[in-house]
Amino acid sequence: MSSEQSIIETHSLNLYYGKFHALKDINLAIQAQRITALIGPSGCGKSTLVRVFNRMNDLIESVRVTGEVLVEGRNIFAPETDLITLRKEVGMVFQRPNPFPLSIRDNLTFGLEIHSDYSKQNHTEIIEQSLKDVLLWNDMKDRLSQTALNLSLEQQQRLCIARVLAMKPQIILMDEPCSALDPIATLRIEELMQELKKNYTIVIVTHNMQQAARASDYTAFLYLGELIEFGETKHIFSAPEQKKTEEYITGRFG
Amino acid sequence: MDTHTKIRKIKEFIIERLIFLSGIMSIIIVALIFAFLLKEGLTLFWQVPLSDFIFARNWYPISDPPQFGILPLILGSVLVTAGAAVISVPIGIGSALFIAEIAPPKTKEIMKAGVELLAAIPSVVIGFIGMITLAPIIKSVFGLPTGLTALSGAITLAFMAMPTIVSIAEDAITAVPRQYREAAIAMGATKWQTTWRIVAYAARPGMLAAVMLGIGRVIGETMAVMMVTGNAALIPHSILQPVRTLTATVAAEMGETVQGGEHYAALFAIGIVLFIITFLINGAADLYLHKTKK
């Protein structure tokens, strides 16, 4: 543990939607180049928490945050934070595959163009590399100019991951990325995550406990806005310290 | 029992036929209108060759011999319509984007109500206002002998096209799924990049339909345009000259014609031309929509 290095840290993080206290005093350290799963029953705040890390909650009016969230050592709620840079560093994959209604190529270059520090010449290389990373290159290389909307759901979700990879982020947030996919596609996305963790830090929200057990290195269990337990996945699933955790992972509620 | 089923069957048959009839009614009516236009209008071409009708430069229907060249009228319609489109399309799309994406909820409601109200103003009222307020301004700003010009027509018609463009484009923009916006913002796109590059792009078939319908409304508009364009059937050399449109010609002259006469037939032939123009605009929009769907 000591040799590892945390890339996201929260210190006494509280989040309110209006009067509703959605996250209560969360202290969490997410390790770099590991997969961390956030689990818990619906409404426990796991999606809210993952959306703190790229400040997507800002889109909701009446949201209020106290405490600190450090991403790569910088407090992202500090006034000088540039959201555009933050979201380039911290990419996100959503529950339903949401490729833009553009060609496959334009889906991948959108991020490059809005973050204009990439020169056009690199685009072809980056497109190829990011599609190779998600194992779509062979299928897609001859149809880059076709619309992304005709792909299968699994391919769309892979493309969404590739779209994030093209921006070369440090961290990838995944909000139930497999919930729209069938079991086989789900397994393949999990395999892909194992590949990706060599270069990226992944935080995945999942309601699927087998997925958390199979695919993650660390697991955080949230319940009613509180972080009940956090630790290595093998410990959480074999010898949880908290009774609530045990009840949840054995399927007694949730 | 047997008669029962029989009656039921007949009932079903009648209802089915009635629904079918209402279904094809719009097509039948369009076909009948077109047939009627052709019947009344085509007789003109026994006396006047088609090329003379379209390309001759003089419209003197009551001189002796009469001249039926509608080129000045076509150019008048085109000039006024193009002018109106140049004004109303950017403003209309811009305001649709503002209403759909940027305006806070209260402002949005007020603006939508305003746009609907603008659509409800009778065209004769808009024409009247154009004649009384707009024409004198144009006259003094450009130092013209008259303010009743193609430009006045274009501005007046822009006001009439705008509600159509705004409300249909706004619907199209609002219908763009939320997930696209979320994805773009999560990638670090600014509000403007998201709105312009993703949302507006996704909504562009609907926005094109909005523009086409707006233009369709403008090209068919008669009353307002008759009141503000000056109605001189001359080939315009600038947008600051009086023009006369196809529609205004039909409306202004139909009362003075002899039924079945040459002039009467010529006005119907203008109707055919208008019909074909609208048909082409709609067809182009359909073709585009179809193409982008693929």
Is residue A152 assigned to a domain?
yes
Banded pLDDT at B65 (limits 50, 70, 90): confident
Neighbour tally for B16: CB within 10 Å: 10
Alpha-helical (H) ranges within chain B are: 2-41, 44-47, 50-55, 71-97, 105-120, 123-129, 135-142, 150-174, 178-186, 191-193, 200-202, 204-220, 223-228, 246-253, 262-293
List Cβ neighbours of A144 (8 Å cut-off, separation of 6 or more).
A103, A104, A105, A127
Q: Are B84 and B164 a contacting pair, CB within 8 Å?
A: no
Residue B94: both structure tokens together:
């811009």
Is residue A157 assigned to a domain?
yes
Task: Please count the structural domains in chain A.
Answer: 1
Buried b vs exposed e over B186-225: b needs ≥16 C-beta within 10 Å?
bbbbeeebbbebbbbbbbbbbbbbbbbbbbbbbbbbbbbb
Nearest one of A145, A124, A127 to A136, comparing CA atoms: A127
Tell me what pLDDT residue A118 has: 62
Domain range for residue B16? Answer: 2-41
Q: Are A94 and A121 a contacting pair, CB within 8 Å?
A: no
Tell me what pLDDT residue A122 has: 79
Q: Which of residues 68-97 of A touch B (CB under 8 A)?
A: 83-88, 91-92, 94, 96
Tell me what pLDDT residue A1 has: 40
Strands A74-75 and B59-60 turn out to be unpaired
Which CATH number characterizes residue B111's domain?
1.10.3720.10
B3-6: long-range contacts, CB 8 A cutoff, minimum separation 24: none
Q: Are B137 and B68 a contacting pair, CB within 8 Å?
A: no
Which CATH number characterizes residue A91's domain?
3.40.50.300
Q: What are phi and psi of A141, to 5 degrees?
A: -60, -25
Partner-chain contact A110 B186, CB within 8 Å: no
Is residue B283 assigned to a domain?
no
Task: Identify the residue with better confidence: B36 or A121.
Answer: B36
Is residue B183 assigned to a domain?
yes
Of B177, B179, B189, the CB nearest to A114: B189
Nearest one of A28, A24, A45, A32 to A4, comparing CA atoms: A32
Residue B290: both structure tokens together:
């179809």
CA atoms of A72 and B12, how far apart (whole Å): 72
Same domain for B34 and B76?
no
CA atoms of A162 and A140, how far apart (whole Å): 12
Tell me what pLDDT residue B246 has: 94
- Stretch B79-108: mean pLDDT: 95
Give A90-129 pLDDT, tens digit per residue: 999 999 999 999 999 999 999 988 887 666 667 888 999 9
Rounded to two decimals, the ipTM of the complex is: 0.89
CA atoms of B216 and B13, how far apart (whole Å): 39
Q: Are B170 and B119 a contacting pair, CB within 8 Å?
A: no
Is residue B169 assigned to a domain?
yes
Is residue B28 assigned to a domain?
yes
What whole-number percentage of chain B has pLDDT above 90? 74
Give B249-288 pLDDT, tens digit per residue: 999 999 888 888 899 999 999 999 999 998 888 888 778 7
Quote the minimal CA–CA distance from B112 to chain A in Å.
23
The 3-state secondary structure of chain A reads CCCCCEEEEEEEEEEEECCEEEEEEEEEEEECCCEEEEECCCCCCHHHHHCCCCCHHHHCCCEEEEEEEEECCEECCCCCCCHHHHHHHEEEECCCCCCCCCEHHHHHHHHHHHCCCCCCCHHHHHHHHHHHHCCCHHHHCCCCCCEHHHCCHHHHHHHHHHHHHCCCCCEEEEECCCCCCCHHHHHHHHHHHHHHCCCCEEEEECCCHHHHHHHCCEEEEEECCEEEEEEEHHHHHHCCCCHHHHHHHCCCCC
CA atoms of B276 and B215, how far apart (whole Å): 14
Residues of B in contact with A101 (CB under 8 A): 180, 201-202
**Is the bond preceding residue B65 a cis peptide, omega within 30 degrees?**
yes
List Cβ neighbours of A201 (8 Å cut-off, separation of 6 or more).
A7, A8, A30, A31, A32, A33, A34, A36, A170, A171, A172
Same domain for B105 and B231?
yes
Banded pLDDT at B294 (limits 50, 70, 90): very low
DSSP 3-state of B91 = helix
Domain range for residue A59? Answer: 6-249
Same domain for B33 and B83?
no
- Stretch B142-151: mean pLDDT: 92
Same domain for B118 and B218?
yes
Is residue A254 assigned to a domain?
no
Same domain for B121 and B241?
yes
Partner-chain contact B190 A114, CB within 8 Å: yes
Quote the minimal CA–CA distance from B280 to chain A in Å.
28
Is residue B84 assigned to a domain?
yes
Tell me what pLDDT residue B195 has: 94
Partner-chain contact A102 B177, CB within 8 Å: no
Partner-chain contact B183 A100, CB within 8 Å: yes
Please list the pLDDT of chain A residue by residue as tens digits (254 residues): 444 689 999 999 999 999 999 999 999 999 999 999 999 998 899 999 999 999 999 888 899 999 999 999 999 999 999 999 999 999 999 999 999 999 999 999 999 888 876 666 678 889 999 999 999 999 999 999 999 999 999 999 999 999 999 999 999 999 999 998 899 989 999 999 999 999 999 999 999 889 999 999 999 999 999 999 999 999 999 999 999 999 998 887 76
Same domain for B6 and B77?
no
Tell me what pLDDT residue B292 has: 61
CA atoms of A38 and A205, how far apart (whole Å): 5
Q: At residue B162, what is the residue type?
A: M
Is residue A1 assigned to a domain?
no
Is residue A120 assigned to a domain?
yes
Q: Are A92 and A56 a contacting pair, CB within 8 Å?
A: yes
Separation of CA B166 from chain center? 14
Same domain for B33 and B84?
no
Task: Please count the structural domains in chain B.
Answer: 2
Tell me what pLDDT residue B37 has: 92
Is residue B274 assigned to a domain?
no
Is residue A98 assigned to a domain?
yes
Same domain for B143 and B206?
yes
Partner-chain contact B187 A98, CB within 8 Å: no
Same domain for B102 and B29?
no
Banded pLDDT at B293 (limits 50, 70, 90): low
Same domain for B34 and B87?
no
Same domain for B94 and B189?
yes
Tell me what pLDDT residue B291 has: 66
Is residue A116 assigned to a domain?
yes
Tell me what pLDDT residue B179 has: 92
Same domain for B28 and B97?
no
| pLDDT, chain B, mean | 91
Partner-chain contact A59 B185, CB within 8 Å: yes
Token pair 């006494």: residue: A12
Give B11-22 pLDDT, tens digit per residue: 999 999 999 999
Is residue B52 assigned to a domain?
no
List Cβ neighbours of A133 (8 Å cut-off, separation of 6 or more).
A162, A165, A195, A196
Is residue B192 assigned to a domain?
yes
CA atoms of B210 and B169, how far apart (whole Å): 6
Residues of B in contact with A54 (CB under 8 A): 186
